[in-house]
Amino acid sequence: MWYIYSMKQIHSDVKEHIAANISYYRQQLNMTQLELAEKLNYSDKLVSSWERGERVPDIFTLKELSRIFGVSIDTLTEKKKVKINRQINIQLMATLYSLIPWLVIAIIFFVFKIAEVSFPLWKLVIYALTASSLTLYIFNLVFKKIWFIYAYLTVFIWTLALSLFISFGLDPVYFISAAPIYLFSMFLMYYLIHLKLK
């Protein structure tokens, strides 16, 4: 009888720890329940029920959660919490990579100035903006930050079109032709993202 009570208590404690830990590590990564659900291909209601301790994820989901949070499965079942900064490091890395085109453009600009090569600075800015927005778009695909994905894809498509337009002196019609490409890309992104939510 004592053994059964003891096992029930352990089960209850582990369930409580898992619930608290999912909520804790999700918040450590600045993720909403919906964003975590999207990564797992579950509904946010299910994630919410885990965090309230009403349900417990199966072992395969716990393994995936441990991968997303960057902690072990044991850590998810224990009371003691580990401070994580993986998401912050990745975001810093994304920012660093997005600044590389600006550094390259700055070097090119100063070389042109020293060599007295006449080249408009605003063109270099457009090129840097195109490269940076592509970098941030790719990183946000990994983070699954939907609004940032849309924003960076928008900037990338239009600055790419503008870059081609100013580089090759194309007719304005070619620049305007980026509109259907942009609309198609937005629709495709919307479709793929919402397909995963089902």
Residues 49, 120, single domain; the answer is: no
For residue 7, the model assigns a pLDDT of: 39
Domain with 33, as residue range(s), is: 2-77
- Residue 65 and residue 17 in contact, taking contact as beta carbons nearer than 8 Å: no
On the question of pLDDT at 69 being above 70, the answer is: yes
| Tens-digit pLDDT profile for residues 158-180 | 888 888 888 887 777 776 777 88
Selected residue with higher pLDDT from 42 and 189? 42
- Residue 49 and residue 55 in contact, taking contact as beta carbons nearer than 8 Å: yes
Whichever domain contains 72, its CATH number is 1.10.260.40
Residues 184 and 139: their CA atoms lie apart, in Å, by 21
Residues 95, 171, single domain; the answer is: yes
Domain boundary among 77, 106, 127: 77
131 falls in which pLDDT band (50, 70, 90)? very high
For residue 9, the model assigns a pLDDT of: 45
For residue 138, the model assigns a pLDDT of: 85
Q: What is the pTM of this model?
A: 0.53
Sign, Cα dihedral of 20, 196, 45, 49: negative
Domain boundary among 22, 48, 77: 77
- Residue 111 and residue 49 in contact, taking contact as beta carbons nearer than 8 Å: no
Instruction: Provide mean pLDDT across the span 81-90.
Output: 59
Residues 23, 115, single domain; the answer is: no
For residue 4, the model assigns a pLDDT of: 43
Identity of the residue numbered 105: I
The total number of structural domains in the chain stands at: 2
Supply the DSSP string of the chain, one letter for each residue: -HHHHHHHHHHHHHHHHHHHHHHHHHHHTT--HHHHHHHHTS-HHHHHHHHTTSS---HHHHHHHHHHHTS-HHHHHSSS-----HHHHHHHHHHHHHHHHHHHHHHHHHHHHHTT----HHHHHHHHHHHHHHHHHHHHHHHT-HHHHHHHHHHHHHHHHHHHHHHHT--HHHHHTHHHHHHHHHHHHHHHHHHHH-
Q: What percent of the chain has pLDDT over 70?
A: 83
On the question of pLDDT at 128 being above 70, the answer is: yes
Please give the structure tokens belonging to residue 72.
Answer: 């072990």
Domain boundary among 23, 43, 77: 77
Residues 37 and 16: their CA atoms lie apart, in Å, by 20
2 falls in which pLDDT band (50, 70, 90)? very low
CA–CA distances in Å: residue 65 to residues 41, 89, 145: 12, 19, 18
Residues 99, 70, single domain; the answer is: no
For residue 1, the model assigns a pLDDT of: 47
On the question of pLDDT at 185 being above 50, the answer is: yes
| Tens-digit pLDDT profile for residues 35-68 | 888 888 888 898 999 988 888 898 888 888 888 8
Select from 135, 172, 176 the least CA-distant residue to 155: 135
